[in-house]
């Protein structure tokens, strides 16, 4: 699993500050926030802020002085904007494609959760613009607010953060749209009016067609705009989209504890077995002994091991399951909530990910999964769940940005290892394994629609099983708002 390195955080902070300067949000002569304010706002350490500011100063955007706030010295111009867009050109193509692939599906699922006050908001939003005279900039604001309302219905921080970061990254092209005709804007406005009608009358098929039409039109026009950008006379370093969701990489000691929990759940570490020594674990996980002691302390607090001075640590999984102390711990509650939000996000994205990557999946990939299906027991298949199929997306997805998104979602899924405390009924394990086999069958037939739908079904069943066990354990407060029903 990729670590949340200072480099990736620095790149992300650098990109956001640069976008503010280039777009004119921060003008020449304006002071940037203090170091402490930037740290608090972007949730990064001061060393990362200093590196980002150093790079901005080296490239001539700001000037820093010891003991004083950094000041913007860059004067915005059309030439500078074009040069910056040229650096982002390839990444923007990826992001526009992601808008078209993911947003319509998310918006339609969000429409299912709309109540009267949400419909009133959307109705008032449309009325605040004149469909006969609406401009490109006005339409851009309108559709952002319209879709934001639908996506926010999930109250899912992972999806909200992803959409927010995608919006920030593509914000500059929005402000420099190509010269669309007023007739185009009027047509788009009418499509949004019809979309509101579809939401009110639960016409999901027509609604998703409307959103796909809008985003395809937007992607087409933005690609035309990017194609018109002049080629630079000198080599410019590319600017790439970087998404680092909060909690995607747990603190190292928790991450090591989660990996050990997973080994217990798969039977690689048996009940009653002794864990390797702290020195051996430190070598295995390439971590300090202090970090390993933190992981051991957490496992001991959760009741998964019994640590005795001078005798090592003995696995006590069966006893822990009887007491279920972990499900009452704040660490486990937070981890399970992240896991459930992640399942929701993957569920919503499955059909489009399957559609987008099917043509790139190799026969050898399908054979490897087939061997796992044939040789694995129901319990093994149950534990792995949909992970092998998500790995296919990671291996074969042509879009670098989408690969990064899926990778972070896979990392977030690791929080679900706390579910080792839940003993699933035998019939449910067998039923779930059978659903995985049906997913494989659709993959073998290369039926991308059925493949996406069946993978969705797996995540829906998995969520229901988790929900049942959490309710039985009295931990219902971690359950987020969820809508796991495939579109028909």
CATH for the 335-478 domain, from 3.40.47.10, 1.20.120.530, 1.10.630.10, 3.90.1200.10? 1.20.120.530
Residues of the chain below pLDDT 70: 1-8, 23, 76-82, 171-182, 230-237, 247, 266, 320-328, 420-427, 472-488
Q: What is the pTM of this model?
A: 0.75
User: Would you tell me how many other CB atoms lie within 10 Å of the CB of residue 227?
Assistant: 9
Domains 81-227 and 252-323 share a fold: no
Which CATH fold topology does 252-323 show? Arc Repressor Mutant, subunit A (1.10.10)
Tell me the CA distances in angstroms from 384 to 304, 435, 485, one per residue in order. Answer: 21, 13, 22
Contact 346, 459 (CB under 8 A): yes
The CATH code of the domain at 6-76 is 1.10.10.10
Question: Where do the structural domains in the chain lie, given as residue ranges?
Answer: 6-76, 81-227, 252-323, 335-478
pLDDT, tens digit, 9 for 90 and up, residues 274-320 = 888 889 999 988 889 899 999 998 888 888 888 877 778 888 877 76
Distance between CA atoms of residues 237 and 476, nearest Å: 49
Fold of 81-227: 1.20.120
pLDDT of 236 reads: 63
The pLDDT of residue 106 is 84
């Amino acid at each position: 699993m990729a670590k949340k390195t200072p480099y990736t955080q620095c790149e992300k902070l650098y990109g956001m500050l640069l976008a503010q300067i280039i777009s004119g949000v921060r003008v020449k002569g304006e002071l940037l926030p203090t170091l402490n304010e930037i740290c608090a706002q972007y949730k990064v350490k001061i060393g990362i802020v200093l590196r980002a500011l150093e790079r901005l100063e080296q490239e001539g955007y700001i000037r820093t002085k010891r003991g004083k706030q950094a000041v913007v010295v860059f004067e915005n111009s059309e030439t500078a904007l074009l040069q910056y867009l040229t650096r982002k050109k390839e990444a923007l193509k990826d992001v526009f494609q992601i808008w078209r692939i993911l947003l319509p599906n998310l918006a339609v699922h969000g429409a299912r959760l709309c109540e009267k006050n949400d419909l009133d908001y959307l109705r008032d939003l449309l009325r605040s613009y004149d469909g006969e005279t609406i401009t490109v900039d006005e339409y851009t604001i309108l559709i952002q607010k319209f879709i934001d309302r639908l996506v926010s219905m999930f109250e899912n921080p992972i999806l909200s953060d992803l959409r927010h970061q995608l919006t920030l990254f593509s914000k500059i092209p929005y402000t420099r749209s190509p010269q669309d005709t007023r007739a185009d804007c009027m047509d788009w406005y009418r499509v949004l009016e019809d979309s509101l009608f579809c939401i009110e009358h639960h016409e999901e098929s027509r609604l998703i067609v409307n959103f796909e039409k809008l985003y395809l039109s937007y992607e087409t026009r933005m690609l035309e705009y990017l194609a018109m950008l002049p080629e630079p006379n000198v080599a410019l370093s590319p600017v790439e989209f970087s998404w680092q969701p909060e909690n995607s990489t747990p603190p190292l000691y928790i991450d090591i504890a989660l990996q050990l929990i997973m080994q217990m759940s798969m039977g690689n570490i048996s009940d009653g077995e002794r864990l390797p020594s702290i020195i051996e674990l430190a070598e295995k996980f390439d971590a300090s002994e202090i970090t390993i002691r933190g992981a051991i302390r957490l496992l001991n607090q959760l009741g998964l091991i019994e640590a005795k001075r001078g005798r090592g640590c003995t696995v006590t999984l069966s006893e822990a399951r009887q007491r279920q102390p972990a499900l009452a711990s704040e660490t486990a509650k937070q981890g399970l909530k992240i896991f459930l939000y992640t399942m929701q996000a993957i569920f919503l994205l499955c059909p489009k990910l399957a559609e987008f990557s099917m043509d790139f999946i190799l026969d050898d990939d399908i054979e490897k999964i087939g061997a796992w299906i044939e040789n694995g027991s129901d319990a093994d298949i149950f534990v792995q769940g949909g992970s092998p199929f998500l790995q296919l997306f990671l291996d074969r997805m042509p879009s670098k940005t989408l690969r990064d998104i899926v990778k972070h979602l896979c990392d977030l899924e690791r929080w679900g290892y706390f579910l080792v405390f839940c003993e699933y009924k035998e019939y449910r394990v067998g039923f779930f394994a059978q659903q995985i086999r049906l997913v494989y069958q659709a993959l073998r037939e290369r039926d991308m629609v059925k493949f996406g739908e069946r993978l969705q079904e797996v995540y829906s069943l998995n969520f229901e099983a988790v929900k049942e066990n959490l309710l039985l354990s009295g931990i219902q407060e971690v359950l987020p708002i969820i809508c796991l029903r495939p579109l028909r």
